[in-house]
Chains A and B, each alone.
Chain A
Amino acid sequence: MKAKRIISTTIYHIFILGLGLLMIYPVLWMISGSLKNNPEILSGSLNLIPPAWRWDNFSRGWAGFGRVTFTSYFKNSFIVTIIATLGTVLSSSCVAYALARVKFRGNRILFTIMIATMLLPGQVVMIPQYLIYNRIGWVGTMLPLIVPHFFGAAFFIYLMMQFMAGIPKELDEAAIIDGCSKYTVFTRVVFPLLKPALISTIIIQFYWKWDDYMGPMLYLGKPESYTVSIAVKLFADATSTTDYGAMFAMSTLSMIPVFLIFLFFNRYLVDGISTSGLKG
């Protein structure tokens, strides 16, 4: 009986680990490609260990395009991503608090509108928004990539509302008896307790924004303002032969910030997602 359990546990772990490694193989292949040259990458070899460690891929890649290097691409990506993520967290938590905790007139209608915008696919408003930004002269600047994030994102408002449902309302009431106003209940009670949901929001919004390609492609005109995702694609657009080594070197570097955020906050991610409110 015990032997049988050990065997089944071993099979379980081998299966999960094997499938997991197969899943991340493309990523490992990319990382190993960052240290290979073109013939080695194109040979179709499954081997992940580079025959020679070609670190010059990184310096060649970092040099970028024209006179713009990856220093400025990374700087642009960080500016856009950090400010947008901050805006999302602050604005979405405020709105979630209003919808989940304050019984003001119009609460229900706003909640319905919020759900409707969550179901509204972003690309449907791509053209309409482009027209508006074009009219107010924002096309060619970073503003369309940053400013809208300060007005709450339905998906994260919903995520935070779900999480707030698990914070006892008695806490709000106790705080009010102790002299808090509805404003300070948010800053002193609800916001600090929201931490897991805030962290989930930071992770998800950070990598959505960091990986975003369509936004920067639509709105950033000058090469000096390109983000990393645009720059990485430029390797493939080159009219001469693609420098795969340099492309994979910069692709690898482009994933590091997302990866670090994830490693740092990973343990909060599952805690921040609550599905209790989905049930009937």
Chain B
Amino acid sequence: MSKKINAPDKSGRTPWNRFVYNTNTVGYVFAAPFIIGFLIFTIIPMLSSLYYSCTDYNLIEKENWIGLSNYIYLFQDPRFLNSIKVTLQYVFLSVPTKLAFALFIAFLLTRPSRLVSFYRSLYYLPSLIGGSVAVALVWKELFARKGLINTNLAALGVSTINWFGSMTAAKWPIIIMTAWQFGSSMLIFAAGLKEIPGSYYEAAKIDGANGRKIFWKITLPCLSPVILFNLIMQLISSFMVFTQAFVITAGGPNDATMYYALYVYKQGIQSRNMGYASAMSWVMLLIMGVITAIVFKTSKHWVFNEAEG
């Protein structure tokens, strides 16, 4: 249905005007920032890093072509394999917890009450400030060996946990912190809940469905596209966990929280192994791509499509 005729304008139809008001011109003028930015800040860096991933570039000396050595070495590097393992563990523990919380609270807040918008702000607050270094530092003190949490666990007679000294415990403060910031997912769920037609609920009530049944048979299916969106966004952002781990544990103890982005930073920026870090970026891109593709593929089975339903 594209219109071939230009918008009628008062200034006449000189060739220049015809060009300026042509639909394609308008489109490219408005899209220009993205097109240019995509080339400069995504495509060129990605392609050049593909080249560097096959070299021993270290920012100072001229690079040497070393073929696929970086990639071969990656899969023999226990620290890299460990970083993938702990990152996956973190993602699969934190994302479902976070989304379940977000949905639970968003659902609770659908109840009509004058206080709902106040409550929503209250629960959004951690998301608003949670990514900051300030909160990460608070977390570090809360979970410290003699921090607030251990002191009060001891007061309750429960044995204290050496959170940052134990390889099994160290991940929990970071996972809790991630789940704690469920506010933005909650807002998106809330927007989705608002858009479920009230008539669906009324029809279900007339058919005699109870609250739990309505939730599973109406709310969840109607919300499934929003769940998919939140799932994908949270998967991507949690794969890239950096600041919290950098500030709170710095990857320790003994690499227990040496997440992927942290290890790339260590290799690339701190040790200047730019070639090796580039190869790492590409491997991660492939892993992310595969996981996203799997989620999209399986989503056909659980995302309810109104056009088909």
Contact = CB atoms under 8 A, between A and B. Distances in A.
Given A23-B126, A103-B23, A207-B131, A98 B31 contact: yes
Given A27-B125, A275-B229, A232 B137 contact: yes
Q: Is the interface of B mostly helix, strand, loop or mixed?
A: helix
Contacts of A62: none
A127 B187 contact: no
Given A102-B26, A236-B137, A247-B137, A181 B142 contact: no
A137 interface: no
A212 B246 CA distance: 13
B188 interface: yes
B298 interface: no
B120 A280 contact: no
Nearest to B305: A280
17 contacts: A16-B108, A20-B123, A23-B123, A91-B34, A117-B42, A120-B42, A128-B46, A151-B40, A152-B37, A157-B34, A181-B9, A213-B133, A214-B246, A232-B137, A236-B140, A252-B134, A280-B304
Contacts of A252: 134
A255 B132 contact: yes
Contacts of B29: 98, 183
A179 B123 CA distance: 47
Contact of A102 (B30, B57, B228, B304): B30
Contacts of B131: 207-208, 211-212
B150 interface: yes
Contact of B129 (A44, A94, A207, A270): A207
B128 A127 contact: no
A131 B195 contact: no
Interface stretch (A51-59, A64-72, A106-114): A106-114
A114 B23 contact: no
A126 B265 contact: yes
Contacts of A251: 132-135, 137-138
A24 B132 CA distance: 15
A24 B269 contact: no
Question: Nearest 10 pairs between A and B by C-beta?
Answer: A151-B37, A104-B27, A44-B151, A128-B45, A251-B134, A98-B30, A280-B305, A128-B49, A98-B31, A152-B34
A229 interface: yes
Q: Which of B45, B124, B147, B240 is the most central at the interface, judged by chain A CB atoms within 10 Å of its CB?
A: B45
A270 B30 contact: no
B308 interface: yes
A179 B34 contact: no
B46 A123 contact: no
Nearest to A182: B26
Interface in B12-50: 21, 23-31, 33-38, 40-42, 44-46, 48-49
